[in-house]
Homo-oligomer: A and B are copies of this chain.
Amino acid sequence: MKTELFTVLPVHEARAKMALYLPADLRRSERRSLLDCIGRRLAQPVLAKENVPGFPRSTVDGYAVRARDTFGASEGSPAYLLVKGEVKMGAGAGLEAGVGEAVQVATGAMLPPGADAVVMVEHTEPAGAEGIEITRPVGVGDNVILADEDIKTGEEIFPHNHLLRPQDLGFLAAVGGLELEVYVPLRLGIISTGDELVPPVERPGPGQVRDVNSYSLFGLALSYGGEPVLYGLVKDDFRKLKATLARAHAETDLVLISGGSSVGARDLTAQALAELGEPGLVFHGLAARPGKPTLGAVRDGKPVFGLPGHPAAAMIAFDLLVAPLLKYGSYQKTSPGLPPLPALVSRSLSSAPGREDFIRVKLRREEGKLWADPVLGKSGLLSPMVQGDGFFRIPLEKEGVAAGAPVEVYLFGTDYVL
């Protein structure tokens, strides 16, 4: 077969070779309102422009005091302090807490000048009309948040490329970060090929199956922050494929052609990529299973990939080669997120040295241990692609894993860099 004549590259070499022809970052950025930024990535680090909370603040309901005035206080021998007044919520302190004085504060209220701690109301008793007895001592700083204890002016709140999560919105609101410079989602053109495919609205005839990849790649693109554009199904017709590819290349930032599973369809895709213009085809085949019949090409700094026809293989190839570009605009790794999860593989699997294997697994907890159950199935089955929580990798040089061996599981849908 023609496709076998080309050199097959390991994933990291395929990436490095693509990177030679790609810009340092495929993305452009824009300013957006905070509420529209979930799922976007920061094009600049966010620095704090001011201290938070910005003033010393009580963390309890009680009395602001000078800690020294409470030293030695106990139930049997309470300290007596004169209550000078109350700090209102959301207002400046006004009052000062002098020696032997206490000022009433609610949780979140500003600490009055002079005070360096707060006694919880539970550890006080009223004493006369204007005083309190304190039955437990406090140390300096007890029940107080300092003016810059939460966030310091100039501190980096989130780094460049940080993915904005729901919980980040509140934190950014706290520092007044209501507009952010974030990356614009890359537009992904998706083309399916294969004489055996029919659009999903049609009922397949004998020997035909529905186009699956357009839809799973659409979903994956969205989940990694891309903006997918479907160019539909092109039957194995070279002129039509070339024309559709040219249109998708002009209109989007990155194009995917998921090949039919036949050799003919794969060859058509390879030829279309080779004729794309300089540098054209960059690699032809991945040393990975699944994912071997994957092609990479570049024109005008835009990547074009030929993905395997098998849906599960196309998804893995997408994770390896397309997802990093959607997330980071390049193959440069950024700060690691969640570590891969240590688990024990529940059955032995063999692998060929010189090939990376990506094994889909379902996680199971048993007797305090996390087991990774491989989701196996004949090549080309669809059902495995919707099963499993993540996958682990058998590295290039290894010949397999034994049942009970430790593996590192990458969960689907989390922010990893493989």
- Residues of A near any B CB (own CB < 8 A): 1, 34-35, 38, 50, 52-55, 57, 59-61, 87-93, 106-110, 145, 149-151, 158, 165-176, 178, 194-197, 200-201, 203-220, 222-223, 236, 260-265, 309, 311, 315, 338-342, 363-365, 368-370, 378-383, 385-386, 389, 406, 408, 411-414
| Residues in B neighbouring A88, C-beta threshold 8 A | 195, 207
Residue A381 contacts which of B149, B169, B263, B381 (CB distance < 8 angstroms)?
B149
- State whether A215 touches B173 (Cβ < 8 A): yes
A-B contact pairs, 6 of them (CB 8 A): A167-B219, A170-B219, A176-B201, A176-B203, A338-B389, A368-B406
| Residues in B neighbouring A166, C-beta threshold 8 A | 216, 218-220, 222-223
Query: Given A171-B382, A172-B215, are A209 and B54 also a contact pair (CB < 8 Å)?
Result: yes
| Residues in B neighbouring A90, C-beta threshold 8 A | 194-197, 207-208
C-alpha gap A210/B213 in the complex (Å): 46
* Given A89-B236, A166-B220; 18 other pairs, CB 8 A cutoff: A53-B209, A90-B195, A92-B205, A92-B207, A107-B380, A108-B209, A108-B260, A109-B262, A150-B383, A165-B219, A165-B386, A165-B412, A166-B216, A178-B200, A178-B201, A342-B368, A368-B406, A370-B370
Tell me how far the C-beta of A61 lies from the nearest C-beta in chain B, rounded to whole angstroms.
Answer: 6
| Residues in B neighbouring A109, C-beta threshold 8 A | 196, 207, 262
C-alpha gap A320/B70 in the complex (Å): 39
| Residues in B neighbouring A173, C-beta threshold 8 A | 200, 210-212, 214-216
- State whether A365 touches B342 (Cβ < 8 A): yes
C-alpha gap A386/B175 in the complex (Å): 13
Tell me how far the C-beta of A198 lies from the nearest C-beta in chain B, rounded to whole angstroms.
Answer: 8
C-alpha gap A81/B206 in the complex (Å): 26
| Residues in B neighbouring A414, C-beta threshold 8 A | 411
Which 9 residue pairs are nearest across A and B when measured between Cβ atoms? A166-B219, A170-B216, A92-B206, A90-B196, A110-B207, A108-B261, A173-B215, A169-B219, A106-B262
Residue A369 contacts which of B53, B206, B342 (CB distance < 8 angstroms)?
B342
| Residues in B neighbouring A35, C-beta threshold 8 A | 215, 218
Query: Given A173-B200, A216-B166, are A342 and B370 also a contact pair (CB < 8 Å)?
Result: yes
| Residues in B neighbouring A91, C-beta threshold 8 A | 206-207
- State whether A1 touches B261 (Cβ < 8 A): no
C-alpha gap A151/B413 in the complex (Å): 25
C-alpha gap A210/B174 in the complex (Å): 5
| Residues in B neighbouring A236, C-beta threshold 8 A | 89
Tell me how far the C-beta of A55 lies from the nearest C-beta in chain B, rounded to whole angstroms.
Answer: 6
Residue A59 contacts which of B60, B89, B379 (CB distance < 8 angstroms)?
B379
Query: Given A200-B176, A339-B364, are A169 and B370 also a contact pair (CB < 8 Å)?
Result: no
| Residues in B neighbouring A176, C-beta threshold 8 A | 200-201, 203, 210
Q: Which residue of B lies closest to A386 (CB)?
A: B171
C-alpha gap A54/B34 in the complex (Å): 49
Tell me how far the C-beta of A104 lies from the nearest C-beta in chain B, rounded to whole angstroms.
Answer: 11
- State whether B380 touches A57 (Cβ < 8 A): yes
Tell me how far the C-beta of A268 lies from the nearest C-beta in chain B, rounded to whole angstroms.
Answer: 12
Q: Which residue of B lies closest to A200 (CB)?
A: B173
Q: Which residue of B lies closest to A339 (CB)?
A: B365
C-alpha gap A390/B285 in the complex (Å): 39
Which residue among A50, A59, A216, A219 has the maximum number of chain B CB atoms within 10 Å of its CB?
A: A219
Q: Which residue of B lies closest to A344 (CB)?
A: B368
C-alpha gap A357/B165 in the complex (Å): 24
C-alpha gap A56/B389 in the complex (Å): 29
